[in-house]
Chain A
């Protein structure tokens, strides 16, 4: 059986000791975030994850969603759990208090998010999509729409979706065909088909608010003619009560590899009433806002599933006895030693642990930068943080979902045949994690975003906010003997990343294929260095000796960090070789030769 224990100790350490929160300490909501308060939040979140959501994970996967005549039924127990979760406010941590939300900082909410997702990814998608839609409406819609819809979204009474994909267009949204015809009353009549709509139809809420990308009749061609519309499943009267159905139909649900408890719907809009969100033809701008927060959320999904897989694998490795330690039996009284004595099992567990804890540090650190970008007093600081978040969003989304796949696959490997069968739940993690590399912009697209947009922006300005602090950090601690095992490998990989960046900047100008072929390897390098930076910062912070956690905890951290530096980070060397070899071998076959 899979087992789950929320990583509360680690989260407490990261928030209370690792993270430097001084930059926003004079802002009220941030100064309120004392350890006393946040520890309670994390403990409660851990409890509800382990006891309420986790038990529904296997059953939800086995049962899946069902579709009958336009109606989608979620797995047994989801409805009750949804009621309990929303009643307790777990769905609106970051929403504004004026709509009934709790207004918590992202670095707190995202730490909670990881725990919830880790216990039941499918379930949390219903709440996650609502938050994405909330963000777009809050930022772009007129006051009237906000007043009419937001508080019911925040309370969880109504849920939200993002309707982008159509049968003929996924990544290339310029091809969208869904029509929006202006009506006399200022609304729009929306018609078209959308597919792969997460939570497009379900039985958890009384109404569903669809955010739909569509084009008006005289809109410019391509991406510049797309607008965003809010289309409710049921019309809402001026007094807030529900009115007539709005001709929004679910025509079926997909049968998928994973996240079976999450409904993935095909939607039909047939002259449905819609309301413009934001400016006409500026839908992509709003979309990007939605996507950016969604991309961080997807990165966290990778981390969360990795955490779940690691949690089971380490327990299994301690319990399952097979073979003897190479250096002589550790448990002579038993028929065999536990798996955990074997170096190769250690290799897998250490890899899982080092990736997961490093990714968690990056998640909380980057979430805090997101808070800085919204809340800092100083405009320049907000801008700098925003540049940094923009730069790292594709890295975070892609690299953490890669970690999700790597770790869940290792999790199966630790279990051996018992991981491959369904009974132990390890294969579900891999199946669930797999989608995160695909949706919200496939990882290849993220890599192109990184090299094609984020790198050249203002001739490398975004890079400055990552590279300069890291360079200064290395310089500051270059003479520290105790840290040298962390600093030296990081410095080496950092200089590789610099070299690759300059190579791409230089080559990409004359041959875009060069940048395109290097993109994914470059993104991985970036991710490896970013997490290496987190490990080095943790090591530096721990060696200061000011922390209040148990010695055992710090000892494990330092050793895990060392494993990362010695056994994972050096991958940057081979990635650099890949990149520097140029794109010729990638591009030279003719299409016929495939």
Chain B
């Protein structure tokens, strides 16, 4: 579904990604590990159009999307849930979710997707009329994920969904992502620091170090400590 080849990415003069190649097959859950500041988030931002790559190819459902503006990539069915969440804080939960269905192809299925979001996150249904600036960190994370689901996406890229959350809330978020995969058959690419949890739900993992893919493994071929060792 997603094929990345030889991707180079720069922040002004600083090269952040060096010849990164990666594949995500339909229905797969792929986890991306690696130390902080080594290019994981940049890779997701390059794929979704927020940080256009300098060289290389990104094919999504067979079409080249490298360098397209972000809105055209969302319209093709690729959703990115940023680590920083970037919610519309002076709007209610419901307004945020409705804006998630901004792409034209998402509007006919708005009701169905909204029901699914409330089914996964019953707490958002209770808080639907609350302003996002008044939500807890965990609830705001739920809105960010829910808003991504509203775009009628076929690939969900989630950047550090558990960061900064309480242990209980972390579990709730991981359960929700697992549920999205199981009930919707959603293809997921996840960046996560909680290696154990992310590994459990993944089919395959990549490890990025210094802007390059250090290794790729199937879940059964890899242990948590091998990944942790690679961080140092």
> Is the pairing of A and B real?
no
